[in-house]
Amino acid sequence: MDFADLSKYDDLCSDIFLDALYLWFKTSKMNTDHRRPRIPANKVLDIIQRRVLQERNLNDAIVELLEYMPNAGYEISDTRRYKDHGKKVEACLVATKNWQVGDELRLCTGMIANLNPSEDAMLRQGEKDFSIMWSTRKGCSCLFLGPARFVNHDCDSNCKFISLGQNSVTFKVVKEIKCGEELTVFYGNHYFGENNNECRCATCEAHGEGYFSTYSSMTEDDINNTDGRRRSSRKRKSAIHDDYVTDHIPRAKRTTTSERRNSASVMSIDFLCGREQEEQQQKQQQQQQQEEQEQQVAQQLSSSSPSSPSQSLPSPSKQTQSIHYKPPTSPLDLLCDAVLDAESNKLTVLVGPTPNKDTTPSAVSISMYYQQESSPLSDDLSSDTKADSAVGMSPHSHGWKEEYDYDEQHQQQLQQQHTTHREESKDINNITIENDDEDGLSDFLDDQSELSSIGSTELAEVIWSDDDDDYDDDEDSLSNENNIKGGNKKKKTKFITSSSTTNGEANISNKKLACIACKRELRREEISEQVGCDTSITADLVTWTWTPSALFTDWRPKRCPRCERHFTVFRQEWPNRKIKKKKQVQADIKSKKTTGKKQSSSKKKSATKRTAVPTPAPLKIDLVDVFNNDDVFSPLDTPLSDFSGDEDELFNSPL
C-alpha cells in the first residue's frame, strides 16, 4: 500500500467509523479535500452485507474494523491536553482494560508507507506532518497512519513501538496501565522542539518540564519574538531545525540537512527494527526496491500513453495539500476495495449460552457485561457476560479474570482452549486472517476474549418484589422459588449462567449494570433516563462500549454520565426474550416442585436457593441469513428493539 492509498483509507475509515459513529469531533485528516462520504450508516451496513457477508470476501478491512473496537483493550478518545491551552480537542488512545508490562496491543496497529522527498516536503508544507516517522534503516520518512497514529507522546511513556510484520506497527506495554489511562509512547528526544521543551505530556507537567517549565528556559529571542509568550510547538520546531547539531539526533541517519530535519521532528522508528527482524527488514527492502522499479516502469509506460490517467495528475511538487496521486476513486470503491481481497469467510454471531469448544473462538459474539457484586462469585461465570467482539492479545491473565473466581472446571476448559489457540497462533506476527482457523478470528481472541467472545447470554429470570428500589439485596440469600412461591412482588433479575447449569445446578446472582471503564454502577432510574425506557425493562439493558457489532443493531449508545467517555447503555436485542425465559424458568420451577419431594433434605435446602434451568441450545445467527431474512429482522429497516417476530423460532430453532 502506498502512502496515497493509506492516507485515503485512513481518512475514510476515521471518518466513517470514528467521526460519524463515535466521536463528537472530527479527527485530523491527511487530505484537506477529504469530504465525509455521503454514505449513511445504513449504506455502510449494506456494503458490509453485500461485499463481506454475501460475497464472503473478508479481508484486512475486517481487521481494521476489529482494530477500532474498544474491547481491543483501548479506544480512541478525546483530550485537550496537547493543543491550544486546552481549547483544541485532539484524539488520544485510552486503555479500556488493565494492561501489564510485556503485553502487546495487537489490535492497535498502524501502517507505515514510505515517503519520497517530494511527498515528505508536501506533507510538511501542508502541515500534515503530525504523523511522520523517520526510518534510519530505510533512510526515508514514513507516513504512519491507522488507529495507532492517535497515540500521543509522553516523556515517560507507558508503551513503546514494536514492529508487527511488514510495515505494520503496534505497541508493547512498558509500564503497567490501568483502565482509563492514556496510552503513550516516546516519539523522540526532540520531537517537540529541542529537548522536547514544548512537550505537554503529563510527565512534563508533573515535573515542571517541557512546555510546563519556567520561562527561564526560553532564550531572550524566544521571549522577544513571542511577546513573552511561547511559540507554538510547530513554529518552534521549524525555528530550531537548523540549529540542530547531529548529536541531538538520536540514531537517525546524519547526512543531509533535510534528513536531519526529518530526524528532529519526526518519530523515530529505529527501535522498531529489532535484531530478530533484521532478515525481515532486508526482505522488505528488497521488495521495496522491486516495487520502486516496477513503479518506475509503470510510470514510464503510463507517461507514454496520452490517455493515461496518471498523466493528468499533478506532480507532487505541484500538489497543494491533497494526496491524490491516483485517479479519484469513490469512497464506496475505497471501502469495498478494503473489504475485498480476503479468503472466503463467514461471520457468525453467537447469542446464547456458552457454546462448546467446537463453536468457540471463531465467533464474534454479541454478549453482555454486567458488573458483579463486590463479593466474589464462586458459582457464577460472570465473565461470560463481558461485552466483546474482540479483545487484545494480552499474554497474561488479568483484568476481570483476576477479579472473579469462577467455576474451576470451566476455567480449565477455557485455559485449554487458550493454550490451543496460543499454539495455533504462535507464529503469527501479523494481524491477518490467514490461518487454518475456520473463521479466522481466533487471532483476535486471547484468554479474555475466549471467555468473553464466546460468552453466554445469560438466562434472565425475573422475580417480582414489592420494593422496587431495593437494588442491593444479597441475592445469595434469596430463593427464586421462595420469592415466587411467597407471592413476593419485588422485582429481581437473576441470571443463571450456562456454565453453572451444566452441573445441573443453577447458580444465581444478581448483577448490576455498570460502565465498563469507570465501573460506576448505573441505577435503574439513571438507565431509564439514558435510554428513554421504562424502569421495568432495565433488566434488559446491557452495558456496551462502542463496537462494530453495534453497527448491526439499532442500539443507541449513550455516554457514561461519570466518565463521559464510554458509550454505555444499550437495549438488549430482543427485549421480549426475558418473558420467554421467565416462563421457562417458572415452568422449570413448577416441574422441580413436583420432583422436589423426592430430593434429600440437603438437596432440598440447596434447591430452595438455586433453580436448575436446562441450558437452551446456543443461538447461532448466521449474519448472512439474518440479513437476508426479513422475517427475522432487517438491520437496515427494522430496529432490533422493535422486533416482534417469533422468538421461539429464533431461540429454539436447531443450529
Ligand X SMILES: C[S@@+](CC[C@H](N)C(=O)[O-])C[C@H]1O[C@@H](n2cnc3c(N)ncnc32)[C@H](O)[C@@H]1O
Q: Where does this chain bind ligand X (CB under 6 A)?
A: 28, 82, 90-92, 130-131, 149-150, 152-153, 192, 199-201, 233
Least separation in angstroms between residue 168's CB and ligand X is 16
Q: Which is nearer to ligand X, 27 or 493 (CB)?
A: 27
- Considering beta carbons, is residue 106 or 237 the nearer one to ligand X? 237
Q: Which amino acid is at 473?
A: D
Q: What angle do CA 11, 15, 21 make, to 5 degrees?
A: 155
Q: Show Cβ contacts of residue 514 under 8 Å, excluding neighbours closer than 6 positions.
A: 370, 371, 520, 521, 522, 543
Could you tell me the smallest distance in angstroms from the CB atom of residue 284 to ligand X? Answer: 22
Least separation in angstroms between CB 560 and ligand X: 22
- State which residue, 169 or 366, has the beta carbon closest to ligand X: 169
Residue number with CB closer to ligand X (201 or 364)? 201
Nearest approach in angstroms of CB 149 to ligand X is 5
What type of residue is 43?
K
- Residues β-bridged to residue 494: 461
Q: What angle do CA 154, 160, 165 make, to 5 degrees?
A: 145
Q: How far is the CB of 278 from ligand X (least distance, A)?
A: 27
Helical (H) or strand (E) element with 627: helix 623-628
List phi, psi (to 5°) of 161. -70, 140
Instruction: Supply the minimum distance, in Å, between the C-beta of residue 233 and ligand X.
Output: 6
DSSP string, 238-253: HHHGGG--GGGS-SS-
Beta partners for 162? 170
In the complex with ligand X, the residue whose CB is nearer, 82 or 633, is: 82
Q: Which is nearer to ligand X, 91 or 249 (CB)?
A: 91
Q: Which residues are bridge partners to 76 per DSSP? A: 93
135: which strand partners?
140
Q: Which is nearer to ligand X, 74 or 150 (CB)?
A: 150
Residue 238 or 397: the one with the smaller Cβ distance to ligand X is 238
Cβ(517)–Cβ(495) below 8 Å: no
Maximal C-alpha separation, the chain: 93
Whole-angstrom Cα distance, residue 221 to residue 242?
16
- Following DSSP, what letter does each residue of 289-344 receive, concatenated? HHHHHHHHHHHHHHHH-TT-GGGGSPPGGG--S----S----HHHHHHHHH-SS-B
Closer by beta carbon to ligand X, 153 or else 582: 153
